């Protein structure tokens, strides 16, 4: 028999698990649901397949609900029934209804084994392929239970402190906290977790805290983030451990250089992303544990250079969009809706997965219609009621008018939408969005460019002509600024110490990406050492949501008016992996899915670099010293560009070039 898979309405798996994860956040022991609409999956599944079989086949139907049946040739059958079919053409239909989860079906057989070749009835004549996931291929699998792996871990040390005991696991962790052999029968034990020692030892302000309800000497918590665990009991030392919860994603990418601090930065960034690679890409594992589109957008880039796991990108993308109709921006943030569309095009470019673009194209059209309904008379985006314009944690000159940074993201969104429309065979939309991209680019340069300042201003309507780094970085990165304007921006904004610096790893991603694009590699390597290296000097075992080198002591942990509100494990701080893979190893696609790609290695200020960049069909290994470059590729289509010369990279053959 052919290997079957569980099937469901396309997107229901993601909607269901997103619904669960967004409604389990707690802050200082209080439940905090999200501030945006959380969508449910459909309660009914109607899926079918029509095929001709040339030999006898037995089809056995299963579902995750007793309210279900299989229908063949007008005859209906209960779950668990096997039906033998002789040669001929058949249509096998399955119907499943489920209210307390999402409906799913599983048919054992050969031609009619359930998989992505089945179709879902959309009840509007626009039937589409069902949803599946390669994690759920066995009948015993339950698609309503997300598949994690577990490893039992134990504290590195235990010490008496503050009238109780402090347990240190040595580094940032996420998992189920376990108490065993508790000699306090049927009791409630207060537990306080901390990413820092100070947080765990400050019960009123610890973000993660709960009462351990012990039954028969045993307790196991739901998954939480921690490094330190404080239990204010001095009379007994508890037997405490944890089940570390994770997805076993392999690091296909690698990087090493002569600077051990940079190597540690790479390793710590990898660990940070792995901790946040779950049902989708989380923002951070302590406070929100939500999927935010801007955070996820950056995680995708790191993923392409580290794990190259496409499934988690697709899952995250579907989770973020939710159901139709679209009534508010993704996460209520306008720029996050823009990133959602831009990220789909970039996903295609890195993976070549055209099928996903086609499957999600109608959701992209819905998002674009929503965006265009919120533009002003010039076609510029200006915030409406309920919109959150984020860009970054910074002080912008803006009074709910059309910010320059937002218009540049809208420009890039139009460009991305035009390319995806072309992939989907929608020539009218491709031309429409291409024209809109050209038009808004003209508006940006006309309204926001300040020749005297050599920069784009935040908001042309205020009259203040205020300059921050953000819009100018976008202008370089997304091609809005011509070469003359780029030169002015580099001198008058990027290298101008009078312009407020970036203080979040989130926007350092964009700044360092832009600087590397224009060859300012030293700017990036200096920032790696001072910014990410600065966190390591303070004892970071994963990278933080925000870091200001001027802060001292407990100031490093404060955020959102909360003493320990800052996340010390935030996915958007993993960008060194992308930056080193893209610009030091120098590997990047020049056509979708790495059908062609270039390798422009740059040793920067290291004695040597070496590493691996994963692609959808194989790895590319690069090694560079001051004397030579070596490239080994498992795929065709590569070109090495070194010192102004080009070299063809043959699959499976090591290329050595002396310098």
Q: Are residues 120 and 222 in the same domain?
A: no
3-state class (DSSP) for residue 98: coil
Q: Are residues 447 and 407 in the same domain?
A: yes
Q: Is residue 573 part of a domain?
A: no
Look over the chain and give the mean of its residue pLDDT values, rounded to a whole number. Answer: 96
Q: Are residues 38 and 118 in the same domain?
A: yes
Q: Name the domain boundary from 458, 475, 500.
A: 500
Report whether pLDDT(507) > 70: yes
Domain residues for the domain of 382 are 370-389+395-500
CATH of residue 173: 2.60.120.260
Task: Please give the full DSSP string across 211-269, using - where no structure is assigned.
Answer: EEE-BTTBEEPPPEEEEEEEE--SS---EEEEEEEE-------EEEES-HHHHHHHHHH
Q: Are residues 106 and 165 in the same domain?
A: no
Q: Are residues 405 and 476 in the same domain?
A: yes
Structure tokens at 195: 């990413």
Q: Is residue 591 part of a domain?
A: yes
Task: Please state the pTM of the whole predicted model.
Answer: 0.97
Q: Name the domain boundary from 500, 526, 551.
A: 500
Q: Is residue 143 part of a domain?
A: no
Q: Is residue 185 part of a domain?
A: yes
Q: Are residues 375 and 496 in the same domain?
A: yes
Min mean pLDDT across 59-68, 184-193, 223-232 is at 184-193
Q: Is residue 617 part of a domain?
A: yes
Query: CA–CA distance from 304 to each of 246, 512, 632 (Å)?
Result: 19, 17, 18
Q: Is residue 547 part of a domain?
A: no
Measured distance CA(221)–CA(238) in Å, rounded: 15
Q: Is residue 239 part of a domain?
A: yes
Structure tokens at 369: 């219609």
Report whether pLDDT(639) > 80: yes
Q: Are residues 82 and 173 in the same domain?
A: no
pLDDT at residue 235, rounded to an integer = 79
CATH of residue 650: 2.60.420.10
Q: Is residue 289 part of a domain?
A: no
Report whether pLDDT(124) > 90: no
Q: Are residues 67 and 97 in the same domain?
A: yes
Q: Are residues 29 and 109 in the same domain?
A: yes
3-state class (DSSP) for residue 373: coil
How many distinct structural domains can be found in the chain?
4
pLDDT at residue 397, rounded to an integer = 86
Structure tokens at 339: 């990133």
Min mean pLDDT across 332-346, 387-401, 499-513, 639-653 is at 387-401
Structure tokens at 384: 């409406």
Task: Judge whether 336 and 294 are in contact, CB under 8 Å.
Answer: yes
């Amino acid at each position: 028999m052919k290997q079957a898979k569980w099937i469901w309405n396309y997107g229901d798996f993601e909607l269901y698990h997103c619904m669960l994860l967004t409604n389990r956040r707690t802050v200082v022991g209080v439940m905090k649901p999200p501030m945006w609409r959380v969508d449910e999956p459909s309660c009914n599944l109607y899926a079918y397949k029509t095929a001709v079989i040339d030999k006898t086949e037995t089809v056995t139907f299963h579902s995750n609900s007793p309210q279900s049946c299989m229908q063949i040739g007008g005859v209906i059958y209960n779950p668990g029934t096997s039906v033998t079919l002789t040669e001929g053409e058949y249509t096998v239909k399955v119907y499943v209804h489920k209210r307390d989860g999402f409906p799913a079906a599983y048919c054992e057989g050969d031609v009619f084994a359930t998989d992505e070749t089945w179709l879902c009835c959309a009840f509007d004549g626009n039937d589409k392929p069902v949803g599946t996931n390669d994690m759920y291929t066995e009948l015993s699998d339950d698609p309503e239970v997300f598949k994690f792996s577990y490893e039992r871990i134990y504290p590195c040390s235990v010490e008496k402190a503050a009238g109780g005991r402090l347990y240190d696991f040595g580094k940032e962790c996420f998992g189920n906290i376990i108490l065993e052999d508790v000699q306090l029968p049927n009791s409630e034990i207060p537990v306080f977790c901390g990413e820092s020692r100070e947080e765990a030892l400050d019960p009123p302000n610890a973000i993660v805290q709960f009462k351990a309800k012990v039954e028969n000497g045993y307790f196991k918590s739901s998954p939480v983030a921690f490094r330190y665990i404080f239990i204010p009991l001095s009379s007994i030392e508890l037997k405490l451990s944890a089940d570390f919860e994770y997805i076993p994603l392999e690091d296909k990418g690698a990087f090493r250089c002569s600077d051990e601090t940079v190597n540690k930065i790479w390793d710590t960034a990898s660990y940070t992303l792995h901790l946040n690679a779950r049902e989708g890409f989380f923002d951070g594992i302590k406070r929100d544990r939500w999927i935010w589109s801007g955070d996820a957008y950056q995680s995708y880039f790191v993923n392409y250079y580290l794990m190259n796991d496409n499934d988690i990108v697709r899952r995250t993308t579907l989770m973020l969009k939710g159901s139709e109709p679209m009534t508010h921006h993704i996460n209520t943030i306008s720029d996050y809706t823009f990133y959602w569309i831009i990220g789909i095009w970039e996903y295609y470019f890195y993976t070549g997965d055209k099928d996903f673009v086609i499957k999600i194209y109608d959701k992209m059209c819905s998002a674009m219609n929503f965006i265009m309904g919120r533009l002003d008379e010039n076609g510029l985006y200006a915030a409406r009621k309920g919109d959150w314009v984020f860009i970054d944690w910074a002080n912008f000159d803006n009074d709910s008018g059309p910010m320059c940074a937002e218009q540049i993201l809208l420009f890039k969104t139009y460009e991305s939408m035009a390319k995806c429309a072309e992939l989907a065979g929608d020539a009218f939309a491709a031309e429409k969005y291409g024209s809109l991209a050209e038009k808004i680019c003209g508006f940006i340069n006309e309204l926001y460019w300040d020749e005297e300042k050599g920069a784009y201003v935040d908001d042309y309507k205020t009259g203040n002509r205020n300059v921050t780094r953000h819009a100018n970085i976008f202008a370089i990165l997304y091609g809005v600024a011509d070469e003359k304007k780029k030169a002015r921006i580099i001198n008058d904004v990027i290298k101008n110490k009078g312009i407020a610096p970036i203080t979040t790893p989130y926007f350092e991603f964009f700044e360092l990406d832009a600087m590397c694009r224009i060859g300012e590699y030293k700017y990036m390597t200096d920032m790696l050492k001072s910014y990410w290296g600065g966190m390591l000097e303070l004892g970071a075992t994963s990278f933080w949501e925000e870091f200001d080198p001027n802060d001292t002591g407990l100031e490093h942990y404060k955020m959102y008016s909360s003493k320990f509100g800052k996340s010390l494990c935030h996915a958007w701080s993993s960008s060194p992996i992308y930056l080193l893979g893209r610009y030091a190893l120098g590997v990047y696609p020049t056509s979708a899915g790495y059908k062609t790609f270039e390798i422009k290695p740059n040793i920067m200020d290291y004695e040597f670099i070496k590493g691996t960049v994963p692609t959808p069909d194989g790895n590319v290994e690069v090694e560079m010293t001051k004397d030579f470059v070596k490239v080994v590729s498992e795929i065709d289509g590569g070109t090495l560009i070194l010192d102004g010369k080009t070299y063809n990279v043959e699959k499976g053959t090591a290329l050595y070039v002396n310098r």
